C-alpha cells in the first residue's frame, strides 16, 4: 500500500477509536450534565466519583474477584454496571450531609455568593476523595483485567478494540435508557422540570431538594458506570479524576450547559478530538488538545451546541 | 475620614512589623532542619495565598489556575539556572516577568467569561502547561550545587536564611495587598465582586481593573514559585502546575479569611504545619494525608465559617465592642470642596441624546425595533409602555450593556454605540436599575463613592462628591454609614440615584425608580428628581404606570413591542388611540369607541 493509503487508514483508525472512546465520554458527560442541569452546581468532584466507579469495578472484578465466577468476559461488564449503584449511594449520602447545605431552593436564586460556596465545597470533596483514594487504593496504576482489552475485531484494515467496543455499545444503551427515563416517567419529567426552571418547578410542587438528591446520585452513578467501562481499557490511579473533570466539562459545555442530550454529543465530540489529535500531536499532548478545544468552546460558543444564552441584564 | 486613614495605615504597618519580628525570632530559635523548612514553606504558601487573594479574594472571580503562574515562576528560574547559569537573584524577577506576560495572555480572553466558566477555564491553563512541560522533557529538573559561590546563587548552608528571604517576600506581598485594599483600585475590585453591572454603570473600567489584578497576582505567585523551587532544589510538573498547588492557594486564603491580607497568613500558618507534621509522622502509612487535611479543612470552613477564620474573629470582636459610635460623617469636607453648584436651567431645546433607527434583536425577537427619538437638554423625558415593550433593553443599549444591531445614538453630538458602559458613564450618563443593584456589603457612602471616582482625581474628592450626592437625595447624615444590605427599598432607590448623580452627569437614565414605593415615598422621590432636574440634569425615566409620570415628565415617548408608537407632550400622548390600545388591549379600545348601550 502507498503512504497515502496508510495515512487514510490511520485517519479511519483514529476516527473509529474516537467514536468508541467518545461513547463512554458521552455517558460520563450525561452524568455531569444531569447534575449541572438540575442543580446548577459545578461539581468539581465529578471526576473523583468517576475514579470511585473505576476502583469499584476494579475491586469487584480483579482485586477481590467477587465477580470472577462470571468469567473473564462478562465480569468486567457486570463490574462496571454494579459500580453505578455503589457510587449512587455514596453520592446520595454526600448530597444529604454536605452538598445540600450549600444548594437547593434557598440558594438557587442567589447570585454569585451561592456558587462560590458550592465550587469550593466540591473542590474540598474532590481533594478528600482523590487523596483518600491514594491512602486506600495506593498510587500504583491498575486496570481491570480482561482479555477483551487485548482482542480486536477487524473491519477491513481498521481494528476495533473489543473492550472499547463493548463499552461503547453499553454506554449508548444506557444513555438511551436514561433518555427514556427522563422523557417517559413522571419522576424523570419532574427532574427535567427542575432542570428547566428550578424556581418554577418548586412553585408547581416539585420537591427541589429531593429532585437534587436524586439528580446528584444519578449523575455520579452514571459517570461511575462510564468510569467502570473505561477501567478495562485504560490504567488509572486515584488522581485521574482531575484530568477527567476537564474532559467532562469540555463535553458538557460543548453540548450546552443544561442540555442533557447535548452532553452526550459533546462527550462524543471530545472523544473524537482526543483520538484524532494523536494524528498530528505527540501522545503526551492529547489532554492539552482537549484543554485547548475546551477553551475555544467557552470563548466562542459558551452556550454550546444545544444550550441557550443564560445571562440576562 | 481620610485623615484618619493615615494613622490606621501606621497601625497596619506596626502590626506587620511586629509579626515579622516575632516570626524571625521564632525562626532563629528553631534548630531542627525539618521544622526550619516548614517555617519557610508557611511563608511561601502565605505569599501564594495573598497572590490568589489579590485576584479572587477582592474581585470575586475564582481562579483554580494559580499554579500556572507559580509553575512558570519556578520553571523560569530553574531553566535559566540550569541552562545558562543565571542566578536565582535574577531568575526569580525573570520568572515574575514571565508570570505577568502569561497573565496578560490568559487574562485578555478569559475575562470575557464569568462565574462557572471563568473558574473552569482557569483550571485548564495549568493542566495544559503540566503536560506541555512533561512533553518538553522537564520531568524533574534539579538545581546544580554551586559550592564556590553559594550566596551568589541563593544557596545557603543555614536554612534560616531562606526563612528570612521568604519573610521579606511575604512582607512585600502583605504591603502590596494592604495598599490594594485601601485604594480606589481595590474598592473598584470589591464593587465588581458585589455587583459587576452596577460597577460598570458607575464608571468602573472592569476589564482594566481585572487585568491589573491578575498581573499583580501573577507576579506575586511567580515570585513564590521561584523561591519554592530554590528552597526545594527540584521542580517537577505535578508539584509546580498540579491541581493541589492551585487548590492550596485558594484553601489557605478561604480558611484564613478571604478579601483581607491577614487571611492567607493565618490559613497557611495553621494548615501548612498541620499537614506537614501529619505527613512526616504518618506519610509512610497514609501517603495522601496532606490532601485529605486540606480538603477536609475547606469543607469544614465552607460549612461552618464561609468567610474564614479572620472574619469569624472579626465579627465576634465587633459584636462584643457593640455599637461604639458611628463614624463622624464627612460633612465638613463635603460642603466646602465640592457641593455641586446648581446651574441655571437652560431652556429645553437643544437635543442632548439622539437615537436614530436603533435596532436590537434577541434571536428572532426584535426587542428594540427601529426606535428614533430625541431627548432634549433639561427636560424630563418619560419612556413608557407595557411590560416587555423594550424599555429596559433600550437603556441597556444606550449605556453600553448591549450592542445595537443597527442605528446610531449620539450624545451631545458624539456617537455612543460601541462604547463600554464605563466609557458611556464617563461621557456623562448615569443610570439606575429596575432591580436595585447595590454593593450590599459596602456602606451607603462607599457605594456612592464608587460612582464618584469618575468625577474625582483623589479619594478625598470622590468621598466629598459622594457626600454631596447623598445630600441631594436626602440620605446624608447617619444613614450614610449604614450598610447597603440593611436599607429599605426607598433608601436603596435614593442611594442608587445618588450613585448615578455623584460624578455629576448631564443625563441620568432612571429605570423604574418609582416601582415598589408607597405613596409618600413616591412623592419624596419625585421631589428629588424634580430638584435634580432643576439643577440642570436631563432625566430619562422608564415607568409603566402612567399616573405618576403624567405629573413628572415634560415629554412622553411610548414603546410597544419594541417600536416607538407615540411621542409628544403627556396630555396629547395619553389620548392617542394607539397608546390606549397598547395599554388596555383591542377589546377595551373597541368598547371605548363603541360603548355598549
- A296 part of a folded domain: no
Please provide the average confidence, as pLDDT, over all residues in chain A.
Answer: 83
Instruction: Tell me the C-alpha distance between B447 and B439, whole Å.
Output: 6
Locate all alpha helices (DSSP H) within B283-390, ordered by sequence: 289-304, 309-321, 331-337
Q: In 3-state terms, what secondary structure has residue B385?
A: coil
* Residue in chain A lying closest to B117 (CA): A298
pLDDT band at residue A45, thresholds of 50, 70 and 90?
A: very high
Instruction: Tell me the C-alpha distance between A222 and A28, whole Å.
Output: 7
Contacting residues of B for A253, CB less than 8 Å apart: 117, 120
Asked if B460 reaches chain A (Cβ–Cβ under 8 Å), the answer is no
- A37 part of a folded domain: yes
**A165 CB contacts (<8 Å, ≥6 apart)?**
A20, A153
**Shortest distance, CA A73 to any CA of chain B (angstroms):** 34
**Shortest distance, CA B115 to any CA of chain A (angstroms):** 7
Cell of B162: 531562606
* Cβ pair B295:A253 closer than 8 A: no
- Angle, nearest 10°, between helix axes A3-39 and A240-255? 80
Alpha carbon distances (Å) from B143 to B147, B154, B236: 12, 11, 12
**B144 CB contacts (<8 Å, ≥6 apart)?**
B81, B82
* Residue in chain A lying closest to B128 (CA): A288
Instruction: Tell me the C-alpha distance between B303 and B312, whole Å.
Output: 13
Domain residues for the domain of A91 are 23-239
Which pLDDT score, from 0 to 100, does residue A107 have? 53
**Shortest distance, CA B394 to any CA of chain A (angstroms):** 12
Instruction: Tell me the C-alpha distance between B424 and B401, whole Å.
Output: 10
- A233 part of a folded domain: yes
Which pLDDT score, from 0 to 100, does residue B6 have? 66
Which pLDDT score, from 0 to 100, does residue B229 have? 96
Instruction: Tell me the C-alpha distance between B424 and B422, whole Å.
Output: 5
**How many residue pairs from chains A and B have C-beta atoms closer than 8 A?**
133
Cell of B436: 436595585
Q: Mutate which of B58, B64, B116 to test chain A, going by most A C-beta atoms within 10 A?
A: B116
Alpha carbon distances (Å) from A2 to A7, A10, A157: 9, 12, 14
* Cβ pair B288:A284 closer than 8 A: no
pLDDT over 60 at A242, yes or no: yes
Which pLDDT score, from 0 to 100, does residue B55 have? 93
Instruction: Tell me the C-alpha distance between A11 and A276, whole Å.
Output: 7
Q: Model ipTM? A: 0.85
Instruction: Tell me the C-alpha distance between B341 and B211, whole Å.
Output: 37
* Cβ pair B134:A298 closer than 8 A: no
Asked if A238 reaches chain B (Cβ–Cβ under 8 Å), the answer is yes
Instruction: Tell me the C-alpha distance between B376 and B392, whole Å.
Output: 20
Cell of A272: 473524537
Contacting residues of B for A136, CB less than 8 Å apart: none
Interface of A with B in 256-275 (CB under 8 A): 257
Interface of A with B in 276-295 (CB under 8 A): 282, 284-285, 287-288, 291-292, 294-295
**Shortest distance, CA B135 to any CA of chain A (angstroms):** 6
Interface of B with A in 161-200 (CB under 8 A): 193, 197
What percent of chain A is helix, strand and coil (3-state, nearest 5)?
75, 5, 20
- Position of cell 419522576? A187
Q: Which candidate from B124, B197, B287 shows the least CB-CB separation from A294?
A: B124
Instruction: Tell me the C-alpha distance between A44 and B119, whole Å.
Output: 10
Which pLDDT score, from 0 to 100, does residue A311 have? 37
Strands B538-543 and B380-384: parallel
Q: Mutate which of A137, A244, A256, A313 to test chain B, going by most B C-beta atoms within 10 A?
A: A313
How is B211-245 classified by DSSP, letter by letter? HHHHHHHHHHHHHHHHHHHHHHSEE-HHHHHSHHH
Alpha carbon distances (Å) from B453 to A1, B204, B332: 73, 8, 19
Strands B555-560 and B380-384: parallel
* Residue in chain A lying closest to B242 (CA): A242
Question: For residues A131-152, b (16+ Cβ closer than 10 Å) or e, as one string?
Answer: bbbbbebeeeebbbbbebbeee
Determine the average pLDDT of the residues in A28-57.
90
First to last CA, chain B: 72
Contacting residues of A for B128, CB less than 8 Å apart: 287-288, 291-292
pLDDT tens-digit readout, A247-296 = 888 888 888 776 778 899 999 999 999 888 888 888 778 878 888 888 88
Q: Which candidate from B116, B123, B135 shows the least CB-CB separation from A115?
A: B116
Cell of B89: 537573584
Which pLDDT score, from 0 to 100, does residue A66 have? 78
* Cβ pair A295:B402 closer than 8 A: no
Asked if B436 reaches chain A (Cβ–Cβ under 8 Å), the answer is no
Which pLDDT score, from 0 to 100, does residue B485 have? 78
Which pLDDT score, from 0 to 100, does residue A124 have? 92
Interface of A with B in 11-50 (CB under 8 A): 42, 44
- A259 part of a folded domain: no
Give the CA count within 13 Å in the CB-facing half-sphere of A300. 7
Which pLDDT score, from 0 to 100, does residue A305 have? 61
- Enter the DSSP assignment of B55: I
Asked if B589 reaches chain A (Cβ–Cβ under 8 Å), the answer is no
* Residue in chain B lying closest to A112 (CA): B115
Asked if A98 reaches chain B (Cβ–Cβ under 8 Å), the answer is yes
Which pLDDT score, from 0 to 100, does residue B338 have? 37
Q: Which candidate from A126, A134, A284 shows the least CB-CB separation from B287?
A: A134
* Cβ pair B116:A130 closer than 8 A: no
Contacting residues of B for A128, CB less than 8 Å apart: 291-292, 295-296, 299
Domains and CATH numbers, chain B: 13-242 (no CATH), 349-441+495-593 (3.40.50.300)
Q: Which candidate from B114, B134, B299 shows the least CB-CB separation from A125?
A: B299
* Cβ pair B306:A117 closer than 8 A: yes
Instruction: Tell me the C-alpha distance between B449 and A146, whole Å.
Output: 68
Instruction: Tell me the C-alpha distance between B191 and A206, whole Å.
Output: 36
Q: Which candidate from B115, B131, B197 shows the least CB-CB separation from A287?
A: B131
Contacting residues of B for A246, CB less than 8 Å apart: 120, 123-124, 127
- A261 part of a folded domain: no
* Of A14, A58, A308, the residue nearest A161 (C-alpha): A14
* Cβ pair B287:A139 closer than 8 A: yes
pLDDT by 10-residue block (mean), chain B, 597 residues: 64 94 93 91 96 91 92 96 93 97 93 79 89 91 86 87 95 95 87 84 89 96 97 93 90 90 94 89 81 91 85 81 46 37 51 91 85 91 86 90 90 88 89 82 84 81 88 84 83 90 90 83 88 91 79 88 88 82 66 54
- A209 part of a folded domain: yes
CA A197 to chain centre: 23
Q: Are B60 and A116 in contact (CB under 8 A)?
A: yes
Asked if B121 reaches chain A (Cβ–Cβ under 8 Å), the answer is yes
**Shortest distance, CA A98 to any CA of chain B (angstroms):** 8
Q: Are A266 and A29 in contact (CB under 8 A)?
A: yes
Number of domains chain A is built from: 1
pLDDT over 60 at A138, yes or no: yes
* Of A260, A270, A266, the residue nearest A292 (C-alpha): A270
Which pLDDT score, from 0 to 100, does residue A162 have? 84
Instruction: Tell me the C-alpha distance between B161 and B165, whole Å.
Output: 6
User: Which helix (H) or strand (E) segment is A159 a member of?
Assistant: strand A158-161
Amino acid at each position: 500500500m502507498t503512504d497515502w493509503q496508510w495515512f487514510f487508514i490511520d485517519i479511519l483508525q483514529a476516527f473509529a477509536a474516537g467514536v468508541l472512546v467518545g461513547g463512554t465520554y458521552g455517558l460520563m458527560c450525561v452524568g455531569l450534565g444531569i447534575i449541572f442541569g438540575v442543580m446548577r452546581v459545578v461539581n468539581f468532584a465529578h471526576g473523583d466519583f468517576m475514579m470511585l466507579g473505576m476502583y469499584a469495578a476494579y475491586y469487584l472484578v480483579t482485586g477481590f474477584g467477587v465477580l470472577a465466577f462470571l468469567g473473564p468476559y462478562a465480569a468486567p461488564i457486570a463490574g462496571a454496571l454494579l459500580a453505578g449503584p455503589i457510587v449512587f449511594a455514596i453520592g446520595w449520602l454526600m448530597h444529604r450531609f454536605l452538598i445540600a447545605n450549600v444548594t437547593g431552593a434557598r440558594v438557587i436564586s442567589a447570585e454569585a455568593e451561592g456558587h462560590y460556596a458550592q465550587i469550593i465545597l466540591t473542590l474540598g470533596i474532590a481533594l478528600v476523595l482523590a487523596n483518600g483514594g491514594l491512602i486506600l487504593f495506593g498510587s500504583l496504576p491498575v486496570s481491570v483485567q480482561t482479555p477483551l482489552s487485548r482482542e480486536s475485531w477487524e473491519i477491513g484494515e481498521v481494528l476495533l478494540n473489543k473492550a472499547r467496543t463493548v463499552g461503547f455499545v453499553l454506554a449508548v444503551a444506557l444513555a438511551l435508557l436514561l433518555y427514556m427515563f427522563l422523557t417517559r416517567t413522571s419522576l424523570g419529567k419532574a427532574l427535567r422540570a427542575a432542570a428547566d426552571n428550578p424556581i418554577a418547578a418548586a412553585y408547581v410542587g416539585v420537591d427541589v431538594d429531593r429532585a437534587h438528591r436524586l439528580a446528584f446520585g444519578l449523575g455520579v452513578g452514571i459517570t461511575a458506570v462510564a468510569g467502570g467501562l473505561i477501567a478495562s481499557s485504560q490504567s488509572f490511579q486515584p488522581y485521574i479524576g482531575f484530568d477527567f473533570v476537564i474532559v467532562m466539562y469540555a463535553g458538557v459545555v460543548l453540548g450546552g450547559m443544561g442540555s442533557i442530550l447535548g452532553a452526550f454529543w459533546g462527550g462524543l465530540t471530545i472523544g473524537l478530538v482526543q483520538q484524532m489529535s494523536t494524528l498530528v500531536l505527540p501522545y503526551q499532548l492529547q489532554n492539552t488538545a482537549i484543554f485547548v478545544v475546551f477553551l475555544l468552546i467557552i470563548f466562542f460558543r459558551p452556550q454550546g451546541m444545544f444550550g441557550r444564552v443564560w445571562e440576562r441584564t | 475620614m481620610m485623615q484618619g486613614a493615615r494613622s490606621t495605615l501606621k497601625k497596619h504597618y506596626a502590626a506587620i512589623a511586629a509579626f515579622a519580628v516575632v516570626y524571625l525570632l521564632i525562626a532563629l530559635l528553631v534548630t531542627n532542619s525539618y521544622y526550619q523548612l516548614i517555617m519557610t514553606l508557611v511563608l511561601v504558601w502565605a505569599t501564594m495565598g495573598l497572590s490568589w487573594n489579590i485576584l479572587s479574594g477582592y474581585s470575586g472571580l475564582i481562579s483554580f489556575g494559580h499554579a500556572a503562574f507559580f509553575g512558570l515562576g519556578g520553571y523560569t528560574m530553574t531553566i535559566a539556572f540550569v541552562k545558562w547559569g543565571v542566578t536565582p537573584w535574577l531568575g526569580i524577577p525573570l520568572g515574575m516577568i514571565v508570570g505577568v506576560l502569561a497573565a496578560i495572555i490568559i487574562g485578555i480572553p478569559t475575562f470575557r467569561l464569568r462565574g462557572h466558566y471563568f473558574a473552569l477555564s482557569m483550571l485548564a491553563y495549568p493542566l495544559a502547561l503540566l503536560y506541555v512541560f512533561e512533553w518538553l522533557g522537564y520531568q524533574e529538573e534539579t538545581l546544580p550545587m554551586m559550592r564556590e559561590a553559594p550566596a551568589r546563587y541563593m544557596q545557603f548552608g543555614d536554612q534560616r536564611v531562606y526563612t528570612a528571604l521568604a519573610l521579606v517576600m511575604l512582607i512585600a506581598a502583605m504591603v502590596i495587598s494592604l495598599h490594594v485594599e485601601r485604594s480606589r483600585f481595590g474598592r473598584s475590585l470589591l464593587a465588581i465582586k458585589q455587583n459587576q453591572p452596577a460597577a460598570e454603570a458607575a464608571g468602573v473600567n472592569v476589564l482594566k481593573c481585572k487585568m491589573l489584578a491578575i498581573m499583580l497576582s501573577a507576579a506575586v505567585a511567580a515570585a513564590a514559585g521561584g523561591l519554592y523551587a530554590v528552597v526545594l532544589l527540584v521542580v517537577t510538573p505535578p508539584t509546580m502546575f498540579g491541581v493541589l498547588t492551585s487548590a492550596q492557594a485558594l484553601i489557605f486564603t478561604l480558611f484564613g479569611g478571604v478579601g483581607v491580607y491577614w487571611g492567607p497568613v493565618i490559613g497557611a500558618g495553621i494548615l501548612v504545619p498541620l499537614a506537614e507534621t501529619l505527613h512526616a509522622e504518618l506519610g509512610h502509612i497514609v501517603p495522601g494525608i496532606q490532601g485529605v487535611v486540606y480538603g477536609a479543612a475547606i469543607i469544614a470552613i465552607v460549612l461552618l465559617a464561609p468567610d474564614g477564620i479572620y472574619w469569624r474573629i472579626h465579627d465576634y470582636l465587633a459584636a462584643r465592642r457593640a455599637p461604639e459610635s458611628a463614624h463622624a460623617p464627612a460633612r465638613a469636607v463635603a460642603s466646602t470642596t465640592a457641593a455641586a453648584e446648581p446651574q441655571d436651567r437652560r431652556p429645553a431645546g437643544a437635543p442632548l441624546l439622539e437615537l436614530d433607527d436603533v435596532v436590537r434583536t434577541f434571536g428572532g425577537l426584535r426587542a428594540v425595533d427601529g426606535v428614533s427619538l430625541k431627548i432634549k437638554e433639561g427636560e424630563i423625558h418619560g419612556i413608557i409602555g407595557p411590560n416587555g415593550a423594550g424599555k429596559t433593553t433600550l437603556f441597556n443599549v444606550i449605556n453600553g450593556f448591549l450592542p445595537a444591531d443597527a442605528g446610531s445614538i449620539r450624545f451631545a453630538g458624539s456617537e455612543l454605540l460601541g462604547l463600554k458602559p464605563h466609557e458611556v458613564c464617563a461621557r456623562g450618563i448615569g443610570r439606575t436599575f429596575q432591580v436595585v443593584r447595590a454593593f450590599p456589603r459596602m456602606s451607603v457612602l462607599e457605594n456612592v463613592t464608587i460612582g464618584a471616582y469618575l468625577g474625582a482625581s483623589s479619594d478625598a474628592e470622590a468621598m466629598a462628591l459622594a457626600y454631596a450626592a447623598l445630600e441631594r437625595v436626602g440620605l446624608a447624615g447617619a444613614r450614610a454609614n449604614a450598610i447597603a444590605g440593611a436599607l429599605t427599598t426607598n433608601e436603596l432607590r435614593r442611594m442608587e440615584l445618588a450613585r448615578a448623580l455623584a460624578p455629576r452627569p448631564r443625563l441620568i437614565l432612571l429605570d423604574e425608580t418609582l416601582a415598589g414605593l408607597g405613596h409618600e415615598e413616591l412623592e419624596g422621590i419625585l421631589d428629588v428628581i424634580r430638584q435634580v432636574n432643576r439643577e440642570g440634569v436631563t432625566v430619562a425615566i422608564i415607568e409603566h404606570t402612567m399616573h405618576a409620570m403624567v405629573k413628572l415628565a415634560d415629554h412622553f415617548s411610548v414603546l410597544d413591542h419594541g417600536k416607538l408608537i407615540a411621542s409628544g407632550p403627556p396630555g396629547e400622548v395619553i389620548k392617542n388611540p394607539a397608546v390606549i390600545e397598547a395599554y388596555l388591549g383591542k377589546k377595551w379600545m373597541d368598547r371605548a369607541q363603541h360603548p355598549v348601550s
